[in-house]
Amino acid sequence: MELLRLAVAARRVGVHPGTLRLWANEGRVPVVWVGRERRFSREALDVLTGCPDVAGRREALYVRVSGTSGQESSLAAQEAELRASASGPVVVVFKDRASGLRESRPGLDRLLKRAAKG
């Protein structure tokens, strides 16, 4: 059983740490005390969010840089950071080299289409 600190657990659930602390005080989510610090089991958080099948979870990543050349290291750094925070196996990485002002982002469009297909 993996135990997560308050801030990490709140980020996983998608709420403010104060909200998760309140839910723990109300008994809505189980908490394990490690010294004077609350910890939350990953499994309990997945049940709370309605996503108990984390073992079957697959993730896709999206990275983007502004410009067409010379920023491969930035793409690689973004990808590495996202891979480190992934909670499931990463199956594909979508990349775009385009201005943030440009609305045409082929990589993002491909990601959204594949997500819609499941």
pLDDT at 68 > cutoff 70 = no
Question: For 50, phi and psi rounded to 5 degrees?
Answer: 80, 20
pLDDT 10s digits, 78-96: 999 998 888 778 889 999 8
The band of 103, judged by pLDDT with boundaries at 50, 70 and 90, is: confident
pLDDT at 6 > cutoff 90 = yes
Instruction: Please report, for the chain, the start and end positions of each structural domain, with discontinuous segments joined by +.
Output: 3-54, 57-117
Cα dihedral sign for 68, 70, 74, 75? positive
CATH of domain 57-117: 3.40.50.1390
The answer to pTM > 0.85 is: no
Higher-pLDDT residue of 7, 48: 7
Q: Supply the pLDDT for residue 5.
A: 94
Do the Cβ atoms of 30 and 44 come closer than 8 Å? Answer: yes
DSSP string for residues in 1-53 = --EEEHHHHHHHHTS-HHHHHHHHHHTSS--EEETTEEEEEHHHHHHHHT---
Angle at 54 between CA 52 and CA 37, to 5 degrees: 80
pLDDT 10s digits, 24-43: 999 989 999 999 999 999 88
